[in-house]
């Protein structure tokens, strides 16, 4: 992956702009940062090719997309060695229900943010992702009653009307 140091002032300015609006014509961006049209297009292409920009998406009103249930799960491992931690971290990446995951300090080892459509789905998820064969000792579920702030790029299907 490219290092931050490899991004010059123009790259950073471009990213700051397209992160707010990626439909703005390159010509406008060029004027804003004081570069030519082609330079802007070349840089944007490279930023996308090199996965500095990982996606270009429309953000849909959360009221329309919000999952039925948002859970946070505090996970304690059986033994918090680097090996076990890494294995678990690598394993959870593939679960689409998990929209956030952090390796944390304190009593617990991981914090997961999970979005599911129903309690049944959550139950199935825990069995699949947090079974004891994964090195998990125990976990605590924090059920979200209400989403107050939710900045996630939701990738779940839209709720039906």
Partner DNA sequence: TATGAAATGCCATAACC
Partner DNA sequence: GGTTATGGCATTTCATA
Instruction: Pick one of DNA, a copy of itself, none as the site partner of residue 67 (Cβ within 5 to 8 A by kind).
Output: none
Per CB under 8 A, residues contacting a copy of itself are 1, 3-7, 12, 15-16, 18-23, 51-61, 63-65, 70, 72, 89, 92-93, 98-106, 108, 110-111, 113, 140, 142-155, 157-161
Instruction: Pick one of DNA, a copy of itself, none as the site partner of residue 72 (Cβ within 5 to 8 A by kind).
Output: a copy of itself
- Using CB under 7 A, which of the segments 38-46, 89-97, 127-135, 145-153 binds DNA? 38-46
Q: Own/partner pairs for 117-125, CB < 8 Å, 24+ apart?
A: 117/67, 117/68, 117/69, 117/156, 118/68, 118/69, 119/69, 121/69, 121/97, 122/69, 122/71, 125/95, 125/97
Instruction: Tell the smallest beta-carbon distance from residue 8 to DNA (Å).
Output: 7
CA distances from 112 to 61, 95, 105 (A): 23, 11, 13
Tell me 4's DSSP state: G
Per CB under 7 A, does 45 bind DNA? yes
């Amino acid at each position: 992956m490219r290092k931050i140091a490899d991004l010059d002032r123009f790259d950073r300015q471009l990213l700051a702009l397209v992160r707010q609006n990626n439909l703005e014509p390159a010509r406008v961006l060029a004027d804003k940062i004081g570069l030519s049209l082609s330079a802007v297009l070349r840089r944007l292409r490279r930023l996308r090719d090199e996965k500095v920009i990982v996606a270009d998406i429309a953000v849909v009103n959360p009221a329309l997309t919000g999952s039925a249930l948002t859970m946070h799960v505090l996970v304690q491992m059986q033994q918090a060695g680097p090996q076990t931690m890494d294995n678990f971290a690598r394993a959870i990446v593939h679960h689409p229900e998990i929209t956030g995951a952090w390796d944390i300090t304190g009593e617990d080892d991981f914090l997961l943010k999970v979005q599911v459509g129903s309690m049944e789905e959550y139950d199935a998820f825990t069995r699949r992702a947090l079974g004891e064969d994964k090195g998990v000792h125990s976990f605590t579920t924090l059920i979200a009653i209400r989403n107050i702030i939710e900045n996630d790029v939701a990738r779940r299907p839209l709720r039906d009307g």
